[in-house]
């Protein structure tokens, strides 16, 4: 493998800016790497024509620097629009549908100089943390190809781990940045809701669950891409004030981290998950942080009830027009039909009740985060499971009552819209990766990045344990 692909995006961008690396050489190495490993992993889809990509790279070398991502190859998650590429959303209903414009965050990445080379694979409509769909098939875990890579940003996580990309965008409603990052030994950052604005289309007031965010092999690269993606859009009502994110300083001494573990036994966990995450927390202690176990700060059932109501309401709002068409309905995955049916059965007062619970949880979490720099939880309750199953029916002997109950551990951050940074926690039984969530204060991305940077310098898991060659 070309040595430049081992570098993180920050190093690649600096080398291009200084004239030590040509964009055309980086593109050539990137495409060669994709040709070598992607057939077995299936992470990058809708790859653009080689000649067109090499021409763009030559143009980048010949022209002035356009921004901090100048000349860097980047593939866009296949839930977002990138002009000139298909946006399938993993659904046969949209396979081959070409986008005539960029979504907002994609436009910002292009304006910063990134060269969009294709898309990264995702589950159908992003539903479920397992990247498979009837359009492109399943994406393999780079550490164990017979197992799931997580999702819905699974293609992005695998492309990073396998050195097909140095930087990737993702999105996160229910752990879609955090779960695949943990299972692929990379970093994923769900920012505070509103930090990265969504498309100014349809409702922009009510559905405050999903957000775009960066994925990378280092916290410095998370900051690099977050700085490009973030910033308010005047067409939307809830954007946060513009904040710049430069290379994070390592700052762990004196930090206080609350370890929530399995939420007092409420979240079933496979053997080894908690131990692996506890090992990662000992690294923070070695760096001077204080880690304290914390009793469950909120009722687990109340959180789940609020989350599933608000999630089904959002999913049904987006997919109900498709389910109303009998021909289209036959082609929707069962999980989508389940969400639509639940969402359509809700009353306005059901949604209000769920929002009141969400508000109470936000207030409780905000109170805790006055005393702690971060709340810590695993990124998943199970190790990567068999790629051929849709979702695990049991976890540690406990039956799962829905397709997403097994990933309930990601709900506390998502429901409150708090920033959550997934760091690699290391490797457990069978050499499988696991991640640790660090949940921070509203608007507290910079503090999480500084904690992650200190941890990264001490561990360098993505660099120490790259996946075996496919």
pLDDT at res. 469: 85
Q: Which of 91, 176, 306, 312 is catalytic?
A: 176
The set of residues, in sequence order, having a beta carbon less than 8 Å from that of 388 and lying 6+ positions away, is: 138, 146
Task: Round to whole Å and give the CA distance between 71 and 67.
Answer: 9
Strands 398-399 and 394-395: what pairing? antiparallel
Interior CA angle at 79 toward 356 and 87, to 5°?
Answer: 145
Instruction: Give how far Cα 368 sits from Cα of 152, 193, 294, 295, Å.
Output: 29, 19, 10, 12
In the chain, which residues have pLDDT < 50?
A: none
Instruction: Give how far Cα 158 sits from Cα of 38, 43, 141, 379, Å.
Output: 9, 6, 7, 16
Centre a 10 Å sphere on the Cβ of residue 55 and count the other Cβ atoms it contains. Answer: 13
Task: Work out the burial of residue 135: count CB atoms within 10 Å of its CB; fewer than 13 is exposed, 13-18 middle, 19 or more buried.
Answer: buried
pLDDT at res. 429: 85
Q: Which of 77, 119, 314, 333 is catalytic?
A: 77
pLDDT at res. 61: 98
314 is annotated as an active-site residue: no
In the chain, where are the structural domains located? 3-464
Is residue 126 within 8 A of residue 152, CB to CB? The reply is yes
330 is annotated as an active-site residue: no
Residues 213-240 have pLDDT tens digits of 999 999 999 999 999 999 999 999 999 9
Task: Round to whole Å and give the CA distance between 262 and 419.
Answer: 20
Task: Round to whole Å and give the CA distance between 61 and 70.
Answer: 9
> What are the backbone angles phi and psi of residue 49, rounded to the nearest 5°?
-60, 135
Instruction: Give how far Cα 397 sits from Cα of 267, 270, 382, 394, 400, Å.
Output: 12, 9, 12, 6, 9
Task: Round to whole Å and give the CA distance between 436 and 30.
Answer: 29
Cα pseudo-dihedral 97, 82, 442, 156, rounded to 10? 90
Q: Could you name the CATH architecture of 3-464?
A: Alpha-Beta Complex (3.90)
pTM of the predicted structure, to 2 decimals: 0.98
State the sign of the Cα–Cα–Cα–Cα dihedral 444, 378, 402, 95.
positive
Task: Round to whole Å and give the CA distance between 221 and 13.
Answer: 10
Task: Round to whole Å and give the CA distance between 30 and 23.
Answer: 10
152 is annotated as an active-site residue: yes
Q: Which of 129, 148, 152, 450 is catalytic?
A: 152
Look at the block and give the residue holding tokens 């990567």.
384
Residues 141-197 have pLDDT tens digits of 999 999 999 999 999 999 999 999 999 999 999 999 999 999 999 999 999 999 999
The set of residues, in sequence order, having a beta carbon less than 8 Å from that of 62 and lying 6+ positions away, is: none
């Amino acid at each position: 493998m070309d040595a430049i692909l081992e570098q993180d995006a920050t190093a690649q961008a600096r080398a291009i800016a200084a004239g030590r690396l040509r964009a055309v050489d980086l593109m050539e190495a990137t495409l060669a790497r994709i040709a070598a490993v992607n057939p077995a992993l299936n992470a990058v889809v809708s790859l653009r024509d080689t000649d067109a990509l090499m021409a763009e790279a030559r143009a980048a070398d010949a022209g002035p620097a356009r921004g901090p991502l100048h000349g860097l190859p980047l593939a866009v998650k296949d839930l977002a629009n990138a002009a000139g590429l298909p946006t399938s959303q993993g659904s046969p209903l949209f396979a081959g549908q070409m986008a005539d414009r960029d979504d907002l965050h994609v436009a910002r990445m292009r304006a910063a100089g990134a060269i969009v080379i294709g898309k990264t694979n995702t589950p159908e409509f992003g539903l479920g943390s397992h990247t498979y769909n009837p359009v492109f098939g399943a994406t393999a875990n780079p550490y164990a190809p017979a197992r799931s890579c997580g999702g819905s940003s699974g293609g992005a996580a695998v492309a990073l781990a396998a050195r097909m990309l140095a930087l990737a965008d993702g999105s996160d409603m229910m752990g879609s940045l955090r779960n695949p990052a943990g299972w692929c030994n990379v970093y994923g950052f769900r920012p505070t809701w509103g930090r990265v604005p969504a498309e100014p289309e349809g409702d922009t007031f009510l559905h405050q669950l999903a957000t775009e965010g960066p994925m990378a092999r280092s916290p410095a690269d998370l900051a690099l891409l977050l700085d490009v993606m973030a910033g308010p859009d005047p067409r939307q009502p809830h954007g946060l004030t513009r904040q710049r994110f430069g290379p994070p300083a390592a700052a762990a001494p004196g930090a206080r981290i609350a370890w929530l573990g399995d939420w007092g036994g409420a979240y079933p966990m496979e053997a080894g998950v908690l131990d692996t995450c506890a090992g990662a927390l000992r690294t923070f202690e070695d760096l001077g942080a204080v880690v304290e176990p914390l009793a469950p700060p909120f009722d687990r059932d109340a959180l789940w009830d609020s989350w599933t109501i608000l999630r089904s309401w959002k999913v049904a709002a987006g997919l109900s027009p498709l389910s109303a068409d009998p021909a289209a309905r036959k082609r929707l995955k069962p999980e989508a039909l389940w969400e639509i049916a639940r969402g359509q059965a809700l009353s306005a007062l059901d949604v209000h009740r769920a929002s009141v619970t969400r508000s109470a949880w936000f207030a409780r979490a905000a109170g805790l985060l006055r005393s702690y720099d971060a709340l810590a939880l695993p990124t998943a309750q199970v190790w990567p499971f068999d790629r051929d199953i849709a979702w695990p029916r049991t976890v540690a002997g406990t039956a799962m009552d829905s397709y997403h109950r097994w990933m309930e551990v990601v709900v506390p951050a998502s429901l409150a819209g708090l920033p959550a940074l997934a760091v690699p926690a290391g490797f457990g039984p069978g050499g499988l990766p696991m991640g640790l969530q660090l949940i921070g204060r509203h608007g507290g991305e910079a503090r999480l990045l500084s904690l992650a940077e200190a941890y990264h310098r001490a561990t360098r898991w993505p660099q120490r344990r790259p996946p075996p060659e496919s």
